[in-house]
Amino acid sequence: QSALTQPPSASGSPGQSVTISCTGTDNDIGGFNYVSWYQHHPDKVPRLIIYEVYQRPSGVPDRFSGSKSGSTASLTVSGLQPEDEADYYCCSYAGANNFGVLFGGGTKLTVL
């Protein structure tokens, strides 16, 4: 199965909001509410920031929010802060054909 599709880059100024999309198919994003998002700073460990489409783990600021429409999931970062500059990856359950999970190609978020 192909990876999920994310834009390679996104940007915004401090205080602004940015939305990153993640497009899949009916076999993954469109079929299940098991979308997660990960923040990855260079030379650090990936960090879970959203699970089950919109749920936030404890400790993740509410500036991060998730949503889904059809086969496209979205991550919105509101009130951008310099430390939000990182790579962001979406992930989805890939269905009952034992494909496990699929990741997106990643989006580099730049805070201008």
65 vs 96: CA distance, rounded Å: 27
User: Which residue, among 8, 7, 109, 112, has the nearest Cα to 64 in the 3D structure?
Assistant: 109
Q: Which of 30, 63, 72, 101 binds another protein (CB under 8 A)?
A: 101
What's phi and psi for 29, nearest 5 deg?
-55, -45
* Number of residues this chain uses to bind another protein (CB under 8 A): 26
To another protein, the closest distance from the beta carbon of 69 in angstroms equals: 19
What's phi and psi for 82, nearest 5 deg?
-55, -35
Query: Does position 60 bind another protein by CB under 8 A?
Result: no
Q: Which of 46, 54, 76, 78 binds another protein (CB under 8 A)?
A: 46
Residues lying near another protein in the complex (CB under 8 A): 1, 3, 32, 34, 36, 38, 45-48, 51-52, 57, 89, 91-93, 98-106
